[in-house]
Amino acid sequence: MELRVLRYFLMIVQEKTISKASARLHVSQPTVSRQLKELEEELGTTLFTRGNRTIQLTPDGEYFANQARQILSLTDKTLTNIHQETDISGAIYVGSAEARSVLTVAQAIGHLNQQHPHVQIHLVSTDASDIHSQLTSGVFDFGVVMDPTDKSDYDFLRLPGESRWGLLVQNSSPLAQQATVSLDDVAQTRLILPQQGGSARIHAVFGLTQEDLNVAATYNLLYNASLLVSAGVGNALGLDGIVNTNQSDLTFVPLAPRTSSGSSLVWLKGQRLSAAAQALLAQVRAELTPTEN
């Protein structure tokens, strides 16, 4: 299986027709069709269902497309990091939860960029489960995860600062008039919950079980959850400082008693980091080291 064929396949996935994919690839349509047929024969499965105008992925095709993206992402990253100049260069992939403490990593990236402008950072907002998967597969170099998270597979640095939990509500909600919300308020409202860690995480942080809650929806990015709140789906349980509620129809009401979560920068134990990734890790450590006056 050649990487070139994987790129052909993903272009077909993107364009949904072989003719458009061929034009984008600057390759003849018969060549692309033949390569797709040979790929399906090699895999022993059908990747597409052919319609009158477009083609759709089969379940096997959906799975293979996801794997192909990871393979090509890892390949491109590896080639970039191998073909380095005298100055440190290369690509670094960081999967990150949404949290104020990401600012420390952002500051490290800014200082690294000043020293090594040929290093390129790819920051992907996602959850702990995907971070673990992408670190294990070698796509991500680092992750930023919220506590509590099982870090037995990781080396890690705790990041400074904590984010406070609360409810994101509509301004018209009676809860928006309160200075804080209680766990009883949380239990009595229709909730939009973070996907990260699921019910086990909610129980670990708040002591609430699935049976205690009225769950309307879940999310992995709080900005998207804020749109659900605006649409009246429910109130989003999340961390402060992520969604800017100024001049919006939303209010963040903190939980009382105060409940906060910290975060950590993680990477796989035993993972051999590229020169660029080592440089970023050193810069994060420098950000965490107090300067002497």
* pLDDT tens, residue by residue, 115-141: 889 899 999 988 888 899 899 888 999
Number of helices (H), then strands (E), in the chain: 10, 11
In a domain, 83, yes or no: no
**232: part of which helix (H) or strand (E)?**
none
Which range among 71-85, 169-183, 267-281 shows the weakest confidence by mean pLDDT?
71-85
Model pTM?
A: 0.66
**Confidence band for 220, pLDDT divided at 50, 70 and 90:** confident
Question: In the chain, pLDDT over 90 holds for what percent of residues?
Answer: 39
CA distances from 184 to 131, 180, 188, 230 (A): 32, 12, 6, 22
Q: What is the pLDDT of residue 280?
A: 95
* Model pLDDT, residue 291: 47
Domain count, the chain: 3
Last residue of a domain, one of 48, 78, 108: 78
Query: 225-257 burial, b if ≥16 CB within 10 A, otherwise e?
Result: bbebbeeeebbbbbbbbbbeeeeeebbbbbbee
Please tell me the least confidently modeled range out of 99-113, 207-221, 256-270: 207-221
Evaluate if residue 194 carries a pLDDT over 70: yes
Q: Are residues 168 and 245 in the same domain?
A: yes
Select the more confidently predicted residue: 22 or 173.
173
Residues 59 and 96 reside in one and the same domain: no
- Residue 197 is predicted with a pLDDT of 57
For residues 118 and 62, membership in a common domain is answered with no
**pLDDT tens for residues 27-85?**
888 888 888 888 888 999 999 887 767 788 899 989 998 888 888 888 877 776 665 55
User: Residue 273 above 60 pLDDT?
Assistant: yes
Amino acid at 1: M
Distance from CA of residue 151 to its chain's centroid?
Answer: 17
Residue length of the chain: 293
Query: pLDDT (tens digit, 9 = 90+) per residue, 32-47?
Result: 888 888 888 899 999 9
Of the two residues 103 and 197, the one the predictor is more confident about is 103
Predicted local distance difference test score (pLDDT) of residue 201: 64
Residue among 265, 267, 272 at smallest CA distance from 286: 265
Mean pLDDT, range 92-107, rounded to an integer: 92
Average pLDDT, the chain: 87
Do residues 199 and 230 both lie within one domain? yes
Domain of 130: which CATH number?
3.40.190.10
Does 154 share its domain with 166?
no
In a domain, 257, yes or no: yes
Residue-level pLDDT at 293: 37
Supply the range of the domain harboring residue 65: 3-78
User: Is 293 a domain residue?
Assistant: no
- 278 shares a domain with 211: no
233 vs 133, more confident: 233
